[in-house]
Structure 1
Amino acid sequence: MQKKDSFLVNRLKSVGYAFKGMLILIKTEASIKIQLFIAIVITIAGFYFEISKTEWLVQISMIGLVMSIEGINTAIEYIADFIHPEQHPKIGLIKDVAAGAVFIASIIAVIIAGIIYLPKIL
């Protein structure tokens, strides 16, 4: 009988798998590379314009939300392609809905960035 790993060892393995997944996303997905670039630019802007703690919290939350949903969208695309590699209307619908979720989060993030930065720029 194989010895079970401890709770702590299992958690550390989970973090390792999650980190590996994040690196795969960053290395292989153009959309995540774009989101990461935008996150870096907007973070630099945050320091330049000396945004408030509350603005930082909202900005960081939106960066995390958009990038997380982008990762989930990518996972959905991988699963859909695995299940049905050929083009199929239902698979296309699934991919479109997942992409739509990213789009919604991105639009909200742009609106929030406008609320934070437009008064500082103007």
Structure 2
Amino acid sequence: MPKENLIVGRIKGIGYAFRGAWLLVRTESSIQIQVVIAGIMTVAGFYFEISQTEWILQIFAIALVLGVEGLNTAIEKMSDYIQPEFDEKIGFIKDISAGAVMLVSLAASIVGLIIYGPKII
């Protein structure tokens, strides 16, 4: 089998990534809720005319929450595949993964309060 061209491989990889992102948004309610919140925060950014630095922080916070939620979902799906029955060790892994999402979401909320708190008050 001939080795795949580097550019062709990268294009295929990007296609797989888009497919994965689409599957995540289409099938996972937690991501759907977070995408709606991200949309609301984006509209708020335009409404309050946030600065370039605030946009960078907001986009980073949104991307971090969505990315970690995606990893959490992957860990949960893989855990369920490996061990479909209840398992204390798998539960521990899933709890840690969910905890990571909570920590990132909390930090993103704080960023949002720092950006929008003074503008609202």
Match of 2:83 in 1: 84
Please state how far the C-alpha of 1:113 moved relative to its aligned partner: 0.2
Shift in Å at residue 4 of structure 1?
A: 1.9
Where do 1:28-43 residues align within 5 Å? 28-43=27-42
- 1:31-70 Cα offsets, whole Å, 9 max, x none, are 0001100000000000000000000000000000000000
- What is the one-letter code of the residue matched to 1:57? I
Give the secondary structure class of the aligned counterpart of 1:55: helix
Aligned to 1:117: 116
User: How far did 1:22 drift?
Assistant: 0.2
Q: List alignment gaps of at least 5 residues for structure 1.
A: none
Task: Read off the aligned partner of 1:18 and give its amino acid letter.
Answer: A
Q: May I ask how many residue pairs the two structures share in their alignment?
A: 121
- Partner letter of residue 7 of structure 1? L
Percentage identity across aligned positions? 54
* TM-score, length basis structure 2: 0.99
The offset of 1:5, in angstroms, is 1.6
Structure 2 residue ranges without an equivalent (≥5): none
Post-superposition shift, 1:3? Answer: 2.1
2:94 matches 1:98: no
| In 2: Cα distance, 1:38 partner to 1:46 partner | 12
The runs of at least 4 aligned residues of structure 1 exceeding 3 Å deviation read none
1:59-109 Cα shifts (integer Å, max 9, x gaps): 000000000000000000011001100011111110000000000000000
1:11 aligned residue: 10
**Cα RMSD, aligned residues only:** 0.5
